[in-house]
Chains A and B, each alone.
Chain A
Amino acid sequence: MDFKNVRFTKDHEWVRLDGGDEVTVGITDFASGELGDIVYVELPKVGAGVSASQSMGTIEAVKTVADLFAPVSGVVSAVNGALEQGPDLVNKDPFGDGWFVRVKMTKRAEFDALMDHAAYQEMIGK
């Protein structure tokens, strides 16, 4: 993955600017590794409004459960339906087929304030 247009949250989510004000959201390979085998993902509905830092879904792994946080405020424009049958896609390809949702942002400044790749790598001690 080219990380030029990608930002990261302290909750180990990646946020890719796809153009305009739409972003794609997923969790990092670090996060998917920490969670272990993911067996169920609860996603918001398309059209739902989400607020930055608020929970918008749930990630159930065999050993633990984690919230999926909205990295930015906006409206959910798409969800990855493939995760319903294949939640393990998140483990296999966290930056690709394992994406979670797309959000139409309402506050671009929230995206700009997130970490870049170098800062995130530093945070996880890489």
Chain B
Amino acid sequence: MTKLGKTPLYDVHLAAGARMVPFAGFEMPVSYTGLIEEHTAVRERVGLFDASHMGEFIVSGPDTWAYLDRVVTNDCSKLAADGVLYTVMCRENGTVVDDLLVAKIADDRAMVVVNASNIDKDFAYMKALLRGKVELENASDAWALIAVQGPKAHETVKATPMLSTIRAEVDSVLYYRWRSFVVDGERFVVSRTGYTGERGFEIFVPPARARELWGQLMAAGAPFGVVPAGLGARDTLRFEACLCLYGHELDDEATPLEAGLNWLVKLNKPDFVGRAALAAEKERGSRKTLAGFELEGRNIARQGYAVMRGESVVGRVTSGTFAPTLKKSLCLAYVDADSIDAELAIQVRTNTVPARRAPIPFYPSRARE
């Protein structure tokens, strides 16, 4: 194991009493005061997340969009000048390399935000696909990332002095759009995106300014009850909203169609990597499908637990927990297509616990509100 990286906010987390864990090569805060408390604060008020471990690539050059449209499954040509796109990139066989955000910075420039655990894999993969007049740069160390999420995220951002340049615009930034501005020669990007199912922003900030911004956001959010929130709450929040997490719902063996991400796969756009395999899968139907389940009782289904149909294993749990907001034991699982409507149970260690299909998302997102 190589030495763990630290985000620019590492000392801030320690000072706040965070419990630190290794995650994707970084020492990250998993919780501060308690996972459920942090989760609830984001649902009801506002929370701050350090997401500086995420990777940022810059794609530039005249062929930027032709290149990206060949690499990812979603349609970049429809992107507004200030637009952000959620997408996956696949292999020729249709399996997912990563899920990512593509932000249009200019007509010849994009920022691509990838999972921390996949930075090296993604960069190598995208590099191998380079074609035409386009350059790819790993700018992950050039950006810290702070997510401000919750019903009071807008008020918090508006009350933050360092972000005063966009104060008047904050309420008009649409979902999946971004604003950028320069302060003291340094660029900030405020994106109306997130990973919680709540309204909010992700703020890309120069690493040297991250601590100052974090401190200002905490102070600005204090009247609204802001809390720092760790990876634990980030996971339970995204789980309730059924947002995929790479390494759980998505991996090197799953396709976006199996994961229920059909809306990300634009078979009608010009050719892209994985198109033929995904078109064929759409034609014949997926072998397995991601579904939500509620367990009887309070046992929790964890990643890797078997989904049982009688004595047969017909699937695997990808994520599960006792959902803090919904107060139910829920899980997401891949299930063989021909068993999806059968009576199923989850093998929780020695107990076979009956599981009922639960509509997904478990928690309807309020991010667009």
Contact = CB atoms under 8 A, between A and B. Distances in A.
Does A pair with B? yes
Interface of A: 33, 36-37, 39-40, 42, 58, 60, 62-65, 91
Interface stretch (B61-69, B107-115, B298-306): B298-306
Contacts of B19: 33, 36
A39 B34 contact: no
A34 B321 CA distance: 17
Contacts of B302: 64-65
Given A62-B236, A62-B322, A37 B36 contact: yes
Interface residues of B, number: 18
If over half of B's interface residues share one DSSP class (helix, strand or loop), that class is named, otherwise mixed; here it is mixed
B324 interface: yes
Given A40-B300, A62-B236, A65-B300, A91 B34 contact: yes
Given A37-B34, A40-B322, A60 B299 contact: yes
Contact of A40 (B30, B31, B298): B298
A40 B300 CA distance: 9
B36 A62 contact: yes
25 contacts: A33-B19, A36-B19, A36-B30, A36-B35, A37-B35, A37-B36, A37-B324, A39-B322, A40-B299, A40-B300, A40-B322, A42-B299, A58-B299, A58-B349, A60-B300, A62-B35, A62-B36, A62-B321, A62-B322, A63-B30, A63-B232, A63-B235, A64-B302, A65-B300, A91-B34
Interface string B330-369: 0000000000000000000100000000000000000000
Contacts of B329: 40
Contact of B300 (A33, A39, A91): A39
B298 A60 contact: yes
Interface of B: 19, 30-31, 34-36, 232, 235-236, 298-300, 302, 321-322, 324, 329, 349
A37 B321 CA distance: 11
Residue picked from A33, A60, A64, A65, most chain B C-beta under 10 Å: A60
B45 to A, nearest CB: 18
Contact of B31 (A36, A42, A60): A36
Contacts of B34: 36-37, 91
Of A37, A60, A62, A91, the most chain B CB neighbours within 10 A belong to: A62
Nearest to B327: A39
Given A36-B19, A37-B34, A40-B299, 4 more contacts: A33-B19, A60-B322, A62-B324, A65-B302
The 6 closest A-B pairs by CB, nearest first: A40-B298, A39-B322, A37-B36, A60-B300, A37-B35, A62-B35
Contacts of A64: 302
Nearest to A91: B34
A39 B232 contact: no
A36 B322 CA distance: 13
Contacts of A62: 35-36, 232, 236, 321-322, 324
A63 B35 CA distance: 9
A92 to B, nearest CB: 10
Contacts of B299: 40, 42, 58, 60
A33 B31 CA distance: 10
A39 B298 contact: yes
Nearest to B39: A62
Contacts of A37: 34-36, 324
A36 B21 CA distance: 13
Which of B34, B35, B300, B329 has its CB near the most chain A CB atoms (within 10 A)? B300
Which residue of A36, A64, A65 has the most chain B CB atoms within 10 A of its CB atom? A36
A65 B302 CA distance: 9
A64 B322 CA distance: 11
Which residue, B19, B36, B324, B329, has most C-beta atoms of chain A within 10 A? Answer: B36
Nearest to A67: B349
B296 to A, nearest CB: 12
B41 to A, nearest CB: 13
A63 B298 contact: no
A64 B21 CA distance: 14
Contacts of A63: 30, 35, 232, 235, 321
Contacts of B235: 63
A10 B7 CA distance: 34
A39 B36 CA distance: 10
A39 B30 CA distance: 17
